[in-house]
Structure 1
Amino acid sequence: MRLNEIEFNESDPIEGYGPGFFRIGGQVWSGAVLTGPAGTASWGGYADSAALLALKSEVDVIFVGTGAEVAHLPKDLRAEMDEAGIGVEAMTSPAAARTYNVLLSEGRRVAVALLPV
């Protein structure tokens, strides 16, 4: 078996998660979190669309982790993202973290907004 070391761009991969927290770039974050090319920060959840819109020129898609269960994004949030031309995909937070890490390792322009599990 051949192993290749993965190199990430400026963004940090998600190293782990658990009840109410995420570990990103060696730091533990409590509650909802947003990470991508601009770094990692606490996220205000669905009502904090401004943080997602600020990534418009930096990413091609934002994954939104909806917690332990998959859920639809609120219609107004989806409409704002569509109007801004930002691709957004909703999935469970564990699935969003894994998908983000894979695409990040491929050098893709991605971000992820995660609600805690």
Structure 2
Amino acid sequence: MTNLLTLTPGTFLQSSFDKVGDGRKYEEIELKTTGTKTTFTAKTPIQLHPGTTISGDEKAIIQLIPYASTCLWKPQVPVFSFSGENHNLFGGNRASKAKIQNVKIQNSKFSRQ
């Protein structure tokens, strides 16, 4: 059985992700929504350790902040980025064995309908 760290909707903290990955206390982060609360917000860059798996319950939404400073991620090249006047990104650098599944990732400028 996988060791799960369950997170409920709110703001992501790096301290939670530091516990997850190869050789760490947890192997997987589970994003568990409750009722109409479905949003998990990344206000700062989040570093994933090798072997990290993030799973949602199919209603989970990860929101990326608008106007994120590009200097926070240099010299990385974004894997996914949103165009327009806002800058936010979901990037990886020398990532290995990281999985994100059953989660919607969206620009926080857009609202869910």
TM over 0.5: no
- Greater percentage in helix: 1
- TM-score under structure 2 normalisation? 0.30
- Higher-RCO chain (CA-CA 8 Å, sequence separation at least 6): 1
- TM-score under structure 1 normalisation? 0.29
